[in-house]
Each structure stands twice: as structure tokens, then as C-alpha cells.
Structure 1
Amino acid sequence: MLIFDRQVALKEHLKSISYPKTTIGFVPTMGALHQGHLSLLQESLQNNTITIISIFVNPTQFNNNEDLAKYPRTLESDVQKIKSLNESILVFAPKVDDIYEGKTISEHFDFDGLENQMEGAFRPGHFDGVGTIVKRLFEIIQPTNAYFGEKDFQQLQIVRKMVEKEQLPVNVVGCHIFRESNGLAMSSRNERLSAHEKQKSAIIYQTLLDAKAKFGTKSAENIKEWVANKFERETDFKLEYFQIADEATLLPCLRKSKNRKYRAFIAVFVNNIRLIDTISLN
């Protein structure tokens, strides 16, 4: 298995093994890999000549320094998981200076308002950081296809918008959410949960399922009130937001339309650990 910590070395290697019909599949991650990440790699392996995974905790997308400091960094075990899946996968695990060249700041992007909803409203500058790192990784790797999990659906739409606006020749592929046996969406942050917290966090996905069931007969505002009241009674959890939004624009659903697709989005704190999830309502 080949592991690169410098972009120059990775670029040189890709030049040496590429040929006219080579396709490159790319899975960008911040490490602490779980089955959801591995499923993205499997999708890439099935559909591309070369598969690359990046492992890089990107500082510019964190608006909370404590969250950045506590983010799990498990490169050694990550590499073992990748190796057990397929030794041909290339690993790009750069240092901050290699990516940002001494200037750890974000570019500013206009995502047509997608960046102002939900995550963007509660995490100022977050999506500028996401856009910055994804654009740089795309420029370094020049993938044919890039794979993202739908748990971070807003991020997925942001990346698609960036690719469109920057006219980058990358096909962005959204992949299904992998869940724990109790329904909790797999996330690197789950590593920070105790067994008890992980078990109780099943309430997040159950709330989304209940919201989906109600969406056929209840208004979006009525469902939002129901969710807020539900979490007021749950002392172990703090609801940051629950929103029902248009999938394309991410704008809040004010009145349902038969011609639109909607999703429910939720962010919850469990003992200061922030978890997000989403579900399609159509």
C-alpha cells in the first residue's frame, strides 16, 4: 500500500501510472474511518481504475477550536482498515502546510445561498473551509469521480454547486448513509460517545422516521414544533436545529409542493458532541 504525505509525490505517482482510459475515484475524509467511509471506497473500487482516499483534518472548516483539537486522529488504524479492504488504494495524508503552504485561510465562495442554511447558519465560515479544501484536493488529484456520504447532505449539495461554478471536470456521487444497528448515522464523532450515549442517540434517527411519517398529513411547521417539544423533554440532548427543506435549494419548506423533493435535517448535541442526520421525505 502506498501512502503519500506530500502532494508533489502523489502527483508524480499519478502521472507515472495514468493512461488514456484511466479513471480516478476519490474519497475525501478527515479520518477516524468507519463502515460508511469504507462503503464509499468500495463504490469507487467498483467503478474506477484507481482509487484514492485523503485523510486530512481540515482546520479551516472548524469554527470551534476545541472541536478541532478533539477531533479523532487515528491514521494508523485508518490505514489498516483501508489495507484490509484493498491494498491497491492510494492514501493521501498530507500535513497542513503541504495543503495550505503556510497560509491556513479559506477562500470565499458564493454557493447561491446554500451556505446560509442550517449548518451554515450555526457554523460561520464552515462551508468556505469545505469549499477550499475540496477544491484544492480536486486540483491535486484531478479525480474522475468523487464520493460523498449523504449524511452530510448540505455539504454534498455545496460541493456540487462548487464544481458547477468552478467548472471542475469532476462527477460528484452521493452515497447512502450507513447506520449503526440502532439507526444512529455512522460518524467519526461517534467515537467520542460512551456506550450509553450511543445507545440513547437512537432517538435522533427515530425522530427523523417519525417526522417522515407525519409529513404526509402535517405541515412542516407543525412537525418542527413537535420535534422541538420532544427534545425539550430529553435532558441528555440539546437540539440545535430541526429543519424541513427543499433538497435543491435547501430553503425551508413553507408550503409543500408536489413537484419538489424535501428532506428533514437535524443537529443535536450529546454531552457537547455534535451529531447531524438527515432523511428524504419523498
Structure 2
Amino acid sequence: MSLKLPEPMIAAAAAPSLYPELPDARAFEPETLSMRSMIRVEPMANSVDEPLVELPSVRALQAQCANHAAAKPQEMLASNRTESDATLLFNNNRPIQAVEKYAQAIEQNCGNVFAWANLGVLLVLSTEPPLRSADEAQLALQMAVKLNDKIDWIHNNLCIARAWLAPLESVEKMISDEACTTARGLNPANKVILDKQFYLAVAERYFVEGQYAQAASTYQIAVSADRKRDCNTSKVHRQTGIVGSRARGGGGEGGSLCDFAGCRGIARWEDQRV
């Protein structure tokens, strides 16, 4: 008796991808980046040996988008993936590459509100390396608000960018700015969190300007606004130790309760998307 064995099944060919594959963010290397439109940011004053840092220009992106056709669904998806890669880069302490990827996400889809918004957040909050540019941040956040004016944290960060641009003597009064008022009106339940974020930024401004007594008192206001322990609370403990030491004439970091290294600014915005 003979048996007839079934013919082996041939696997179907892989279906072609409808959308382009983007490289894994973890594989990016600084030397592979193509810097197109740039602004030049001076290094911090105490880092005289550091070279200038070059970043994509928000103004150039806006000008490019003014003449850009509406993104197709395929481009929107690619832009969303690139924006997620950018956030991954920033949360892994690679802010220069993150800025470049946010710019790429905007080039793929000028209507990507979160690419504009998170680019603005990065530019206003970054301190290391010296990426902070409140003027560029304000432009990016204004663009995000224009695209979607119903997101409270975007308005709040626009208010923070304006506080960085305001004269030092009036910086705390910026909480009455239209952007801050709009943020709290959109979501009254988030007022405590929004206030904490604002006062943390104001305290950082005082700290950078060497106004250590005002910085210490403003950090305390931020903590009293919201006593929830998070990366921001750790930063407050560390910074109050530093400002306390410097206000007394010291230069060390005495009084630090914990190190907040690795607590990046954009991660918390991702949880508030609508």
C-alpha cells in the first residue's frame, strides 16, 4: 500500500507596505543628521569651550509650511511616527536629535499639532545642552494653538514661553496672560497642575538670572500648588538646595535631597493628549 503525502504549502509573498518604514530612533547618530534650516544658539556662559549648537529654525519651518500642500494620509502617519521618535529621543537625553526629528515631522505634515507643541516645549524647557530659545518656542507653540486651540497644556506652555521673554520684574504677573487664562478655562480641573508648571518655569528663570532668593520662594509656591511627588518635585528639592546655598554666598549644591537626572520635560505632556 502506498501513501500520497501532501504537497508542502508555499508561504504567501509578503504584502507590500502601504507606508514608508522609518528608522528606529535608537539607531540615530548625530553625524547622520542633515541640518537644513538652522538657528545658532550660543553655549552657556560657563562653557566657553563648547561649540555653537545649530538647530532647525521655527521661522524657516513656518515659511516652508506657508506654501506646502495639505498632507496626505500616508504623510500624516509618517509624521506621527517621526514625532513619536522625537519624543523617544528627548526622553533618552538626546534633545539635539529630538529637535531635528520634530522638524522632520513638521516637514512631513505641517498640521501635526503635537510636533509643533512638543518642539516648543523642548525649546522653552531645555537647559542641557543649551537649547533654550523662548522666542522660537513661542512661535512653535503659537502655531500649535492655531492648529488646535482646545488643549490646555499647549496654552500653558505658550504662557511659559512668554514669561521667559518678559522683563524679569514682571515675570510672575504673566500668569494673567491670555494664554494662561485660556489654559485654565479649558480645563479647570487641571488648574493646580498648570499653576505648578508655570511657577516651576518662573523659578527656573529666576535661577538662571541669579535671583536665588526669588527662585527659592517661587519653587516653594510651585510645591504648595501641587504636593504630588514626581520628577518635578525632585527637581524642586535639588534646586532649592542649590539656591539656598548660593543665596547664603556658597557655590555648592548643599541641601540636595535627590537627583532628578533623567526626568525629562516632554514625557508628561504625552499623558495629556486629547
TM-score (norm 2): 0.30
- Considering fraction of residues, name the structure with more helix: 2
* Structure possessing the higher radius of gyration over alpha carbons: 2
- TM (normalized to structure 1)? 0.29
Query: Structure with the greater relative contact order (CA < 8 A, sep ≥ 6): 1 or 2?
Result: 1
The structure that is strand-richer by fraction is: 1
